[in-house]
Structure 1
Amino acid sequence: MQTEKTFKNERLTYRLNIVAQEAIQANDEIFLRETGSRIRDLRVLRLIDDRPGTTFAEIAKTTGFERSLTSRIIQYLIGAGLIERENSSEDARVFLLSTTPKGKEVRQVARRLSDRLEVILTDPLSSQEMRALNEILARLGAWVTSEDYRNALANEPKKDAI
């Protein structure tokens, strides 16, 4: 196991971000080779497949990607024949996105690949550690998306008040 890379910062959010970014960077070329798409493209594909009829605005909000990046990804997915768009019957300016059969197939290939790569990523952890990690991440995820968390942040004293 490689140990020469150490965290340059002890903050939890920094460490979580580094672990995620390192894993994504290491896996991205594998996804491109096996599916023809990069990880972020596949994330958007998955979101559209999970919610047929979703819109550009919903995808941009859910992913947190910049609008220009979201637009490029959607254009790529359309051009690759993985998704299609149709005008909303309620508002012609809005496009409804859905997955094509080819897109559904690519999603399944990506899912199987993701499952295999996740096993490699978590190899240093025991099954008990994996259960604990998943439970902790679920609790943190619920917390950071909660109203209580937003209230706690809003009540954080301002710099001048300290």
Structure 2
Amino acid sequence: MTYRLDIIAQEAIAAADDIAVRETGCRIRDIRVLRLIDDAPGTTFAEISKVTGYDKSLTSRIIRNLISKGLIQRENSEVDARVFFLSTTTRGKEVRLTARRVSDNLDTVLTDPLSVEDLRQLDDILARLGRWVTSGDFQAALTERV
């Protein structure tokens, strides 16, 4: 099952990435980081890397790219020069809104073969699975059963 979920995600992202770049100037993974920063102004590099699961090198490249495009800005910590806080610029907020519209349209195409009830059930199932795989109980079950 995890293999099928991964393949579905990879295929959907690959198919949508060119559209995201055309409409926003950013790849889907860049938009994810932009959204996270916009949702939590003042977030740090370490927090972004942890939440996305991206390695530090990729996270750094994405952040540098977003800064160079003028979509986010960084402010150095007054306490620790190694730490900087990230926030979106006005342009970054505009790109995020465009990305939301594009994402909504892409999601509609992706889920076209599903009924409204299928979508409701899928959303519920994915939410439950998400809570489960991030829980200590899941980790314990893995240790006990494998």
Q: TM-score, normalised by structure 1?
A: 0.88
The structure with the largest alpha-carbon Rg is 1
Unaligned runs of 5+ in 2: none
Q: Which residue in 2 is equivalent to 1:99?
A: 88
- Residues 117-147 of structure 1 deviation map (CA, whole Å, 9 limit, x = unaligned): 1001000000011111111111111111111
> Greater helix percent: which structure?
2
Secondary structure of the corresponding residue to residue 113 of structure 2: coil
How many percent of aligned residue pairs carry the same amino acid? 66
Secondary structure of the corresponding residue to residue 114 of structure 2: coil
Q: Which residue in 1 is equivalent to 2:30?
A: 41
- Counterpart residue type for residue 85 of structure 2: L
How far does residue 150 in structure 1 lie from its aligned partner after superposition? 1.1
Q: Which residue in 2 is equivalent to 1:123?
A: 112
Q: Does 1:27 align with 2:29?
A: no
Counterparts in 2 of 1:5-24, with a 5 A limit? 12-24=1-13
Q: Which residue in 2 is equivalent to 1:152?
A: 141
How far does residue 155 in structure 1 lie from its aligned partner after superposition? 1.6
How far does residue 56 in structure 1 lie from its aligned partner after superposition? 0.7
Q: TM-score, normalised by structure 2?
A: 0.98
- Counterpart residue type for residue 86 of structure 1: E
Secondary structure of the corresponding residue to residue 145 of structure 2: coil
How far does residue 28 in structure 1 lie from its aligned partner after superposition? 0.2
Q: Which residue in 2 is equivalent to 1:114?
A: 103
Unaligned runs of 5+ in 1: 1-11, 158-162
Shift >3 Å, 4+ stretches: none
Higher RCO (CA-CA < 8 Å; seq separation 6+) = 2
RMSD of aligned alpha carbons: 0.8
Q: Partners of 1:28 and 1:147 in 2: how far apart?
A: 34
